[in-house]
Chains A and B, each alone.
Chain A
Amino acid sequence: MKWMKNLKTYVPPSFVVERDDYRCIRCKACVEQCSFDATFYDEDEDRVWAWNANCVGCNRCAAICPTDAITVRRADPTYRYNHNWNGHVDSLKKRAIFGGTPVVSMGNDKPYPIYWDHMLLNASQVTNPSIDPLREPMELKTFLGRKPDSISVSDDGLKTKLAPQLELDIPIMFAAMSYGALSYNVIEALGRAAKEMGTYYNSGEGGLNKDHYKFKGNIIVQVASGRFGVHKDYLDVGSAIEIKIGQGAKPGIGGHLPGEKVSETISETRMMPKGSDALSPAPHHDVYSIEDLRQLIYALKEATEYKKPVAVKIACVHNVAAIASGIARAGADIIVLDGFKGGTGASPQVIRDNIGLPLEVSLAVVDERLRQEGIRQYVSIVASGGIRNSMDVVKAIALGADAVYIGTAALIAIGCTMCQQCHTGKCAWGISTQDPHLSKRVNPDIASKRLINLLEVWALEIKETMGAMGINSIESLRGNRLNLRGVGLNEKELEILGILPAGE
């Protein structure tokens, strides 16, 4: 017997795996593919069974089953209806039974408002012409970095010396997801796609495997509080350097890569012992003020001969606007705002689900504040945390972002079903795991092709909507809140977002 239910540890299963026994041919593909021990084959009975309690709803089994015999259903708890308590019973029990605070992954899944879905875009009719992106040129090219206050031009061209810029063919980059959290093959796919699409992949806080130095020119390297894998070569490979102060999924706390995921190659890349937990402290212990941050920014600029823009990434928190202003003044070239729906490879559930600020709101207030202070040109703004589709990108740019980062969306493109098990290291889709047997499940050829497809389709969709609005360059969309109207929002929300209500 592999497993038996025990009242002492019983929490009702979240999923039920249904198998149509007539269709099941006992090929056992599902058994092998389930990395959570939720499926097994009983030789004596010649049947495939499920331990529902172990099922995380990743749907790997349903996807692989050649006869479509499997349906994975959410198990509805059958407790007496209680609006106040339902949904809290099991999570309370887990704490009581297992005695620890649950660690989760991916982004906040609670039903907070989604402002993207309360904003509508404009389109041209009669009085101004719309543009057909398939006939007319459309410009998505974006430069990230400090812009000059003014420029002077001579016959030889531009006279003003520009600060270093990141050049993007499409205003979408791959967010910081470290090698360690993600498997080698996923990094390979992200790198290839970034290269092909003329954009960037952010290494995250785990350093960069030497094999991936080949993506030089399409990498942003991150420096986080743990300083894992940070050295001269690493900084040199980056086209920009990003200082990570905070992350939307876990504002105010550090990172934690469980020891199980610290494999041989991870330990090499991170420059730390194999098998030990990789803990990055909550704050950078050399950054306790904006002045300290300025020192770190300039230390990194110095180390890279002022050739690379330096970004600072923060989680969106209550006074995000003031913080952003400070960062801009501290000398950062790019500010990354990570909303409370941003993903993670591991975060305490309470933090993920209760801390932060919506990205939409943060973007609006930061853009507005920097404009008011007359320093908007000091920095580019990158929006990240919960960008789900191309229209979120358009709306983010209209709210004031220069570009966006996508994390979860990129992972979904290569298979992720958001079962939120990244922290276990057992990802059945081979994405967030260091188990060499599981990580094979991502074939970089297929995965990079899918990422490229996704970005190409999004680019086309963005162009289509720009065309509809009569805009032929993404520059003209940036901060163009006149093209947004709010629906179902109260006056205060509209004011903060800086948009008019629908009809006005």
Chain B
Amino acid sequence: MRIVKIREDNCIFCHLCEVACIVEHSQSKDIIKAFKREERPIARCTVEFNYPISLSIMCRHCDDAPCIEACQNGSMHRDERGYVVVNPQTCVGCWMCIMACPYGVIKRDTRREKWGLSTKCDLCPDRVIPACVEACPNEALTFEEL
């Protein structure tokens, strides 16, 4: 199964992966509108920096996915492609997946009225090459069999 391989030696801390992820998960998929007109999605990848280290981290789509195991109502599940994704219709924001994810890559979206929403990389279901991979200017992210 192909996932996003992180090549930290090439990461230049530009955050464009985050920008691309936000745009990809926005309503319009238009960079300006996504940032200025619509409710901005949360980036599924996170760029970390500790001079001179920088790297972007997102879900590793574990074979044994502890997040799925910990989810209280099956919202965290494996989709038809085999990737681990959240069902926003059922997620109740209990953060049990966060508690279990050994990579710390799930984020909390607390902007919904009633239920929190666990937000994580869905490996861009509408794309062939994930948005972050395509956007990275230095090939610090590649889409590969891991």
Q: List residues of chain A with CB under 8 Å of any chain B CB.
A: 22-23, 25-29, 32-33, 64, 66-67, 430, 435-437, 440-441, 443, 445-446
Give the residues in chain A near B12, CB-CB below 8 Å. 33, 430, 440-441
Interchain CB contact under 8 A, B16 and A27: yes
Q: Which 6 A-B residue pairings sit nearest by Cβ, starting from the closest?
A: A25-B35, A436-B52, A437-B52, A443-B10, A29-B14, A443-B138
What's the least CB distance linking A274 to chain B, in Å? Answer: 16
Docked-complex contact A440 and B14, CB < 8 angstroms: no
Task: Say yes or no: B138 contacts A441, CB within 8 Å.
Answer: yes
Which residues from chain A contact B52 at a C-beta distance below 8 Å?
435-437, 440
| Minimum CB–CB distance for A428 against chain B, Å | 10
Chain A CB within 8 A of B9 CB: yes
Task: With a 10 A CB-CB cut-off, give which of A26, A28, A29, A430 has the most chain B CB atoms.
Answer: A29
List A contacts of B11 (CB < 8 A). 440
B54 at the interface (CB under 8 A from A): yes
Say whether, besides A440-B52, A446-B139, A32 and B15 are in contact (CB < 8 Å). yes
Q: Which residues of A have CB within 8 Å of B14?
A: 29, 32-33, 64
Tell me which residues across on chain B come within 8 A of A28, comparing CB atoms.
15
Measured CA separation A115–B31 after assembly (Å) = 47
Q: Which residues of A contact B82 (CB under 8 A)?
A: none
Bound-state Cα–Cα, A446 to B14, Å = 17
Residues of B within 8 A of A440 (CB): 9-12, 52, 54, 138
Point out the residues of chain A lying under 8 angstroms from B15, CB to CB.
27-29, 32
Looking at chain A's contact residues, the main secondary structure is loop
Is B112's CB within 8 Å of the partner chain A? no
Question: 8 A-B residue contacts at CB 8 Å?
Answer: A25-B19, A25-B31, A32-B14, A64-B137, A66-B16, A66-B31, A440-B12, A441-B12
**Shortest Cβ distance from residue B53 to the other chain A in the assembled complex, whole angstroms:** 9
Kindly identify which residue among A67, A436, A437, A445 contacts B32, using a CB–CB cutoff of 8 Å.
Answer: A67
Whether a CB of chain A sits under 8 angstroms from the CB of B111 is: no
Q: How many whole Å from B41's CB to the nearest CB in chain A?
A: 13
- Which A residues touch B140, using CB under 8 A? 443
Distance in Å: Cβ of B23 to nearest Cβ of chain A: 9
Question: Are A29 and B10 in touch, CB under 8 angstroms?
Answer: no
Those of B32-86 within 8 Å (CB) of chain A: 32, 35-36, 51-52, 54
CA distance A115 to B47 in the complex (A): 50
Contact A437 B9 (CB under 8 A): no
Which residues from 102 to 120 on chain B have a C-beta closer than 8 Å to any C-beta of chain A?
none
Residue B96 interfacial (CB < 8 Å):
no
Tell me how many residue pairs across A and B have CB atoms closer than 8 Å. Answer: 57
Let me know if B143 is at the binding interface, CB within 8 A. Answer: no
Contact of A23 among B32, B51, B54 (CB under 8 A): B32
Instruction: Determine the distance from Cα of A64 to Cα of B13 in the docked complex, in whole angstroms.
Output: 11
Contact of B135 with A by CB under 8 A = yes
Q: A67 to chain B: which residues have CB within 8 Å? A: 31-32
Bound Cα distance from A27 to B135, whole angstroms: 14
A22 nearest in chain B by CB position: B32
CB distance from B33 to the nearest CB of A (A): 10
Closest to B138 in A: A443
Give Cα A22 to B14, complex, Å.
20
Complex Cα gap A437–B54 (Å)? 8
A25 close to B10 (CB less than 8 A): no
Given contacts A25-B35, A66-B31, A440-B52, 9 further A-B contacts (CB under 8 A): A27-B16, A27-B35, A28-B15, A29-B14, A29-B15, A64-B16, A436-B52, A440-B10, A445-B139
A64 proximity list for chain B (CB < 8 A): 14, 16, 137
Interface centre among B9, B14, B20, B135 (most CB of A within 10 A): B14
Residues of chain B with a CB closer than 8 A to A437's CB: 13, 51-52, 54
**Minimum distance in angstroms from A499 CB to a CB of chain B:** 45
Residues in A whose Cβ lies below 8 Å from that of B32: 22-23, 25, 67
- Per the bound structure, the CA–CA distance linking A440 and B35 in Å amounts to 28
Q: Which residues of B contact A22 (CB under 8 A)?
A: 32
Question: With the chains together, A23 CA to B135 CA distance in Å?
Answer: 18
Complex CA–CA separation, A33 to B137 (angstroms): 12
Kindly list chain B residues whose C-beta atoms are within 8 Å of the C-beta of A25: 19, 31-32, 35-36
Please, how many angstroms separate the alpha-carbon atoms of A27 and B139 in the complex? 19
- Distance A23 CA – B10 CA, assembled complex (angstroms): 27
The interface residues of chain B lying within 8 Å CB-to-CB of A29 are 14-16, 19
Q: How far is the CA of A163 from the CA of B51 in the complex (A)?
A: 51
CA distance A501 to B9 in the complex (A): 54
Q: How far is the CA of A411 from the CA of B109 in the complex (A)?
A: 45
**Which residues of chain B have C-beta atoms less than 8 A from A26's C-beta?**
35
Contacts of A66 in B (CB 8 A): 16, 19-20, 31, 135
* CA of A445 to CA of B139, assembled, Å: 9
A436 and B13 alpha carbons, distance in the complex (Å): 12
In the complex, the answer to whether B31 meets A443 with C-beta atoms within 8 Å is no
Nearest opposing residue in chain B for A435, CB measure: B52
* Least CB distance, B34 to chain A, in whole angstroms: 8
Alpha-carbon distance between A445 and B32 when the two chains are bound, in angstroms: 32
User: How far does the alpha carbon of A29 sit from the alpha carbon of B16 in the complex, in Å?
Assistant: 7
In the complex, which residues of chain A have a beta carbon less than 8 angstroms from the beta carbon of B139? 443, 445-446
Q: Which of chain A's residues has its CB closest to B136's CB?
A: A443
- Nearest A residue to B51 via CB reads A437
Cα distance, A378 to B20, chains bound together (Å): 60
CB-CB < 8 A to B10: which residues of A? Answer: 440, 443, 445
Give 1 or 0 for each of B112-146: 1 = CB within 8 Å of chain A CB: 00000000000000000000000101111000000
Cβ of B45 to closest chain A Cβ, rounded Å: 14
For the complex, give the distance between the alpha carbons of A53 and B92 in Å. Answer: 52
Residues in B with CB closer than 8 Å to A32 are 13-15
Question: Scoring B residues 2 to 32 as 1 if CB is less than 8 Å from chain A, else 0, what string do you get?
Answer: 0000000111111110111000000000011
